[in-house]
Structure 1
């Protein structure tokens, strides 16, 4: 059984989606997946599920939703058997899942592995690992329930981590020498995310290695103007390092990828919402 939050919340069993019912049922699953393998208070679930405005019958309705979710995750369990996946606790519940069963947790681990591989000077392997991580996505994170106040911080975290992985994949691909076919994609990414210095650094390096030195330096100047206008700041180390490499190394030479600005990590976070 697999649990999904990198898109609409959902459950897959044997490769097939499990029916979950209406929006509240999906929202309840999302709330449990924010805190897998941890006690979740019923009072917190009520406040979160109704976004701070629970009806008088909220606790009774919550128990109905929990029963429906139990049927989804343990369809063969009889009423006499204790729940093994969605367990009752005094004044709350606990969703027991394997870490690898949650797509967001697998995604974070793959991003960290790819970052470590790239730092070790294996960009081609890193690119494949980043691509494997990004293939787990099925849309906007926690789509359909992301407006709940309790869910918004996790949506923001996952969105940022996805950008980090996309930037990392581009960094690895450029370091592996695949800069020419990536120029258009790099331009689009930088245009959509003009304040991400790491991506701009990769665009500069890709342009330089393609023999377009003037455009590479122009990309640096544009980034410097954007940072000054938005934050009153000078370029950071990633852009400065790329600028130095462009000036120091003729584009026909292949710079050591271990000297290139490295993308971020997932931060070693083992759980979604941890």
Structure 2
């Protein structure tokens, strides 16, 4: 089986699509896949597809949706293994579980590789961290569940995944900065800072990459653009760490030329 959630929803078993066309069964399959190998309770499934006001027939209707999903699985398996569908979409006391193998759900694989990459980053193995975090990010083909109608439960899951994706990006950029790849990061960080106009971490990395690439004036412009946005949108100044970086840039602090420190750690050392 292969289920892809990090972009358009794709689900195949033995090269046959098991993806429902109806909105609510798609939601159920997406939620079960996101919680693969863990039981999702009936109340959670009901909250996802009906919110706070499930119909009186909710239990029966949910069972019907599960049956429809099993039929799609059975069709994919063929006549010889139709009973296997119940072994994949498993009924548990109080809920349901999607039994999958490692690597079959892209969101789970993303989180696994992300964990390895973050561990390498913490250990100071920047080359490995950059490689692993880059591999994790390549699993994304667009916004998570971009073509799925999401309820309250899936909405939280999508936000969690998008935040994890942003964390992976920051981590990979931090590793690349420490590896001296600042010039190669400029175009990517130009796009990222435009997409996230109030994200201080990405702007700090962009400023550092610009400074190390001999573009100190652009780094100062990036700071002023971020500051103007924060004041206009939120009525706040940049954080103390960003202000320290700004001061360091103005003074051409030689510690900013180091390539073996993570940007946010440097901000503390600048005034240490």
Q: Which moved more, 1:190-199 or 1:219-228?
A: 219-228
Q: Residue in 2 aligned with 1:3?
A: 3
Q: Residue in 2 aligned with 1:219?
A: 222
Contact 1:123-1:175 within 8 A present in 2 as well: yes
Tell me how many residue pairs correspond in the alignment.
258
**Equivalent in 162, 168, 173 of residue 165 of structure 1:** 168
Contact 1:242-1:260 within 8 A present in 2 as well: no
TM-score calculated relative to the size of structure 1: 0.78
TM-score calculated relative to the size of structure 2: 0.79
> How far apart in 2 are the matches of 1:59 and 1:121?
51
Q: Residue in 2 aligned with 1:248?
A: 253
Contact 1:121-1:258 within 8 A present in 2 as well: no
Contact 1:6-1:140 within 8 A present in 2 as well: yes
Residue ranges of structure 2 left out of the alignment (5+ in a row): 266-272
Contact 1:119-1:258 within 8 A present in 2 as well: no
> How far apart in 2 are the matches of 1:137 and 1:56?
39
Contact 2:44-2:153 within 8 A present in 1 as well: no
Q: Residue in 2 aligned with 1:49?
A: 49
Residue 199 of structure 1 and its aligned partner are, at CA, apart by 1.0
Q: Residue in 2 aligned with 1:66?
A: 66
Contact 1:145-1:151 within 8 A present in 2 as well: no
Write out the 4+ residue segments of structure 1 that deviate beyond 6 Å after TM superposition: none
Distance 1:43 1:214, change over 3 A: closer
> How far apart in 1 are the matches of 2:195 and 2:147?
24
Q: Secondary structure at the match of 2:96?
A: strand
Deviations 1:133-184 (A, max 9, x none): 1111122212233531221111111112222222333333333222223312
Q: Secondary structure at the match of 1:37?
A: coil
Q: Residue in 2 aligned with 1:37?
A: 37
Deviations 1:185-212 (A, max 9, x none): 2122112212211111111111111111
- 1:131 counterpart = 2:134: yes
Contact 1:223-1:235 within 8 A present in 2 as well: no
Distance 1:142 1:17, change over 3 A: farther
Contact 2:48-2:152 within 8 A present in 1 as well: yes
Q: Higher RCO, 1 or 2 (CA under 8 Å, sep at least 6)?
A: 1
> How far apart in 1 are the matches of 2:262 and 2:39?
45
Deviations 1:92-132 (A, max 9, x none): 32222345432212212322322332343333332222221
Q: Residue in 2 aligned with 1:20?
A: 19
> How far apart in 2 are the matches of 1:110 and 1:237?
30
**Equivalent in 191, 196, 201 of residue 198 of structure 1:** 201
Contact 1:2-1:101 within 8 A present in 2 as well: yes
Distance 1:260 1:162, change over 3 A: same
Higher-helix-fraction structure = 2
Residue ranges of structure 1 left out of the alignment (5+ in a row): 263-274
Residue 12 of structure 1 and its aligned partner are, at CA, apart by 3.3
Q: Secondary structure at the match of 2:81?
A: coil
> How far apart in 1 are the matches of 2:113 and 2:248?
30
Distance 1:119 1:91, change over 3 A: closer
Distance 1:97 1:231, change over 3 A: farther
